[in-house]
Structure 1
Amino acid sequence: MTSTPAGGTTTFTGGIPTMTGTDLKADLHRYLQEAREALLWKLDGLSEYDLRRPMTPTGTNLLGLVKHLATVELLYLGYVFDRHFAEPVPWFGQDAEPDSDLWATADQSREYIVGLYRRSWKHSDATIQALGLDATGHVEWWPQDGGKATLHRVLVHLIAETHRHAGHADIVRELVDGAIGRMDGDERIAHGDQAWWKHHRDRLERAAREAAQS
């Protein structure tokens, strides 16, 4: 348990801080960490093929989502605040292929991509720890306000983007093998068997067709 600057306390359970006081930075970090871990859980138990195979017409795939978010973290909580990542990242180069951060090549292993993502967390968390929420960075690809953005604004953006892609991973994983939920044993998901889910889906299909005919 750690004291917060506001006088509250933050209890850390499984790497995710749970607020017991009023520390805005810790609260933002908790939401970011929840999304990070939910995304990685979507990879559990899958083969190399299933991790990588494109499941939408535009190629969305699970390992590519992880690779993309590692890139996003290193940009927003590294480059933007002039806190550069020491490790070379091949797809950061000027001659990198477009969208090369959205899929993993055959020689980029699961261990490498997931490891890079976890190392990006460490780098990002050091930035969060070191800077105040009002610290200003430069997001050169945000033309509004001259690209200036506070750590607070960048964290909100990163939380939104990570949860968005975690949602993509929810759907992609279900398409791969039917697995659903935000975490193992997610109590917010109905626990029906295959027959129950088929009945549920058929009911939705009938409702959609009835609505289209009205």
Structure 2
Amino acid sequence: MSTTSRRNDTPPPRTANSEADVLRGFLDYLRDSVAAKVEGAAEPEARTAAVPSGTSLLGLLTHLTAVERAAFLGERVTDRQATFRPAPQDGVADVVARYRATVERANETLDRFTDLGAPLPRPGRAGPSPSVRWALTHMIEETGRHPSAPPAPA
């Protein structure tokens, strides 16, 4: 019996030394990891609750899409619990495509900022906006803590 275990995922990214590169590198790493878990899931299992909270893989990625939109694109979330429920007609491919498109739009927004202390745009909202640094750190935490659902079977 071998005592060596096989690693099923990729190691954390090796990024440049700037704070922005490190934060964005780790966020992209987590984004890719969670999208890959959902992408490889079969349709019925993707809707099945996989953790005690009742969250499914599709619900997880639907939620992360809403949080990305709120954090980086300034969209409002009016019903947080609803963000965990995919629409009945949404399949794996739909949810993954929507998430990847949202990530692309979020990255386009982030590309416009060189100062991590700058506030992110919040159209039509009163009060202070979170900084780019805060939003990146929050999304690393948010994306990293949710993939508690088991990976899709190989």
Coarse TM-score class (shorter-chain normalised): 0.7 to 0.9
The match for 1:65 is 60
Q: Of the two structures, which has the highest relative contact order with CA contacts closer than 8 Å and spacing of 6 or more?
A: 2
Structure 1: stretches of 5+ with no match in the other structure: 1-15, 81-91, 140-145, 185-214
The higher radius of gyration belongs to 1
Aligned match of 2:150: 173
TM-score (ref. length: structure 2): 0.76
Structure 2: tracts of 5 or more residues without a match = 1-11
- 1:75 lines up with 2:56 in the alignment: no
Cα deviations across residues 12-43 of structure 1 (Å, max 9, x unaligned)?
xxxx9732x42211111110011111112212
Closer, same or farther: CA 158–98 of 1 in aligned 2, 3 Å: closer
Runs of 4+ in 1 over 3 A off after TM superposition: none
The letter of the residue matching 1:156 is T
> In structure 2, the residue corresponding to 1:112 is in which secondary structure?
helix
Residue 124 (str. 1) matches residue 124 (str. 2) = no
For residue 93 of structure 1, report the CA deviation from its aligned partner. Answer: 8.2
Number of residue equivalences: 141
Question: TM-score, normalization: structure 1?
Answer: 0.57
- Rounded to whole Å, the distance in 1 between the matches of 2:22 and 2:90 is 34
SS of structure 1 residue aligned to 2:98: helix
Contact persistence 1:64–1:104 (CA under 8 A)? yes
Equivalent residues in 2 for 1:2-13, closer than 5 Å: none
**CA deviation vs aligned residue, 1:126-179 (integer Å, no higher than 9, x gap):** 11110131211377xxxxxx543211111111111110112x2xxx226xx7x5
| 1:131/1:45 CA distance change after superposition, 3 Å | closer
Q: Name the structure where strand makes up a greater proportion of residues.
A: 1
1:52, 1:103 within 8 Å by CA — same for their partners in 2? no
Aligned twin of 1:29: 24
Out of 148, 152, 160, which is 2:141 matched to?
Answer: 160
| 8 Å contact kept, 2:59–2:86 | yes
Q: Which of 13, 37, 44 pairs up with 1:42?
A: 37
Q: Which residue of 2 aligns with 1:18?
A: 14
Shift, 1:106, TM fit: 2.1
**What amino acid is aligned across from residue 157 of structure 1 in structure 2?**
H
Q: Does 1:149 align with 2:130?
A: yes
Tell me if the contact between 2:72 and 2:120 (Cα under 8 Å) persists in the aligned partners: no
Partners of 2:39 and 2:92 within 8 A in 1: no
Indicate yes or no: 2:90 matched with 1:108: yes
Q: Tell me how large the CA RMSD over aligned residues is.
A: 3.1
Whether 2:117 is the aligned partner of 1:134: answer yes
1:66-116 per-position Cα deviation (integer Å, ceiling 9, x unaligned): 010011111100117xxxxxxxxxxx786xx66221022321122221111
